[in-house]
């Protein structure tokens, strides 16, 4: 049981480049979400999804797109990377029930130069 | 709106106790607590639900005061392994458009020294 898998672990981009951060879970969780964590700061919700075909914006959605075509996968797209997007990105999933905890992936460390 | 945590940082000696607070300006449905070690992902500690009782996990316990919209995490007889950053997360409703929308505080960094 792999849990939540994020790829890549590290990525360096130049300003204006695009890329997709991958997230997959094998726990059949309905809910998936993306967070960014800047150095010494908390987790900021970017986008989340409560099921395949359903996505919604979180606290800091600008500059990011998501889609959810399957229960297992929830990729995060940066269309035109900016230095302000340098951060650690965490994907998380859980069941949509009242007492279900979030399971986090190991994170993707992204640097935009 | 994210929950507000206090204090921002705590330094303890082994065996001492600590309390970390988490408050919200909106009515809470549930509060959950996570611990993050440096360079690692957050790890779940416990969830407290509206109307539920105090939870415990070894020497770490938490309470949830619905009227004050506040939760507190209690670390008793702290150990070196308790060092890390503690985050509270909140959900404001069970169903509806905000279902599952979990937002986090800025964290409390706990350092336990020998």
CB contact under 8 A, A45 and B101: yes
Is the per-residue pLDDT at B3 higher than 70?
yes
Q: What percent of chain B has pLDDT above 90?
A: 54
Contact B100 A107 (CB under 8 A): no
Res A8 pLDDT > 80: yes
The average pLDDT across A36-46 equals: 92
Q: Is the pLDDT of residue A3 over 70?
A: yes
Q: Does B25 or A71 have the greater pLDDT score?
A: A71
Instruction: Choose among A31, A42, A94: nearest Cβ to B104.
Output: A42
Judge contact between B110 and B84, C-beta under 8 A: yes
Minimal C-alpha gap between B103 and chain A (Å):
6
Pair B77, B17: CB distance under 8 Å: yes
Exposed / middle / buried, residue A28 (Cβ in 10 Å: 0-12, 13-18, 19+): exposed
Residue of A nearest to B86 (CA): A42
Token look-up 């970390």 returns B20
Judging contacts by C-beta atoms under 8 Å, the chain A residues touching residue B32 are: 101-102
Q: Give A1's pLDDT tier (boundaries 50, 70, 90).
A: low
Question: Which range has the worst mean pLDDT, A36-45, A89-98, B88-97?
Answer: B88-97
Residue B108 has pLDDT above 70, yes or no: yes
Strands (E), chain B: 4-6, 9-13, 18-23, 30-36, 43-49, 55-57, 60-65, 70-75, 84-91, 103-104, 108-113
State the Cα–Cα distance between residues A10 and A76, nearest whole angstrom: 15
Cα four-point dihedral sign A60, A15, A4, A43: negative
Q: d(Cα A91, Cα A25) in Å, to the nearest integer?
A: 9
Contact A36, A88 (CB under 8 A): yes
Residue B28, pLDDT > 60, answer yes
* Minimum-distance CB partner of B41 among A59, A101, A107: A107
Percentage above 70 pLDDT, chain A: 98
What are the CA-CA distances from residue B44 to residues B6, B59, B96 (Å)?
Answer: 19, 15, 24
Under 8 Å between Cβ of A48 and A55: yes
Question: Which of B1, B20, B41, B44 would you mutate first to test chain A, the one with the most A CBs within 10 A?
Answer: B41
């Amino acid at each position: 049981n792999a849990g939540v898998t994020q790829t890549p672990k590290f990525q360096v981009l130049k300003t204006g480049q695009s890329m997709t951060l991958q997230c997959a879970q094998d726990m059949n969780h309905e809910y998936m979400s993306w967070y960014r964590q800047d150095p010494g700061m908390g987790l900021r919700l970017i986008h989340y999804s409560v099921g395949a075909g359903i996505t919604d914006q979180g606290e800091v959605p600008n500059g990011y797109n998501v889609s959810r075509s399957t229960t297992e996968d929830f990729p995060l797209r940066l269309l035109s990377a900016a230095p302000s997007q340098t951060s650690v990105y965490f994907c998380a999933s859980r069941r949509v029930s009242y007492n279900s905890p979030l399971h986090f992936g190991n994170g993707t460390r992204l640097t935009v130069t | 709106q994210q929950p507000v945590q206090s204090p921002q940082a705590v330094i303890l000696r082994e065996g001492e106790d600590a309390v970390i607070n988490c408050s919200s300006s909106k009515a809470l449905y549930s509060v959950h607590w996570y611990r993050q070690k440096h360079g690692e992902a957050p790890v779940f500690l416990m969830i407290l639900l509206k109307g539920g009782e105090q939870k415990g996990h070894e020497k770490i316990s938490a309470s949830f005061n619905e009227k004050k919209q506040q939760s507190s995490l209690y670390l008793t007889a702290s150990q070196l392994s308790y060092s890390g950053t503690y985050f509270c997360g909140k959900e404001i409703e069970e169903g509806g458009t905000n279902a599952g929308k979990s937002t986090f505080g800025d964290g409390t960094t706990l350092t336990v020294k020998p």
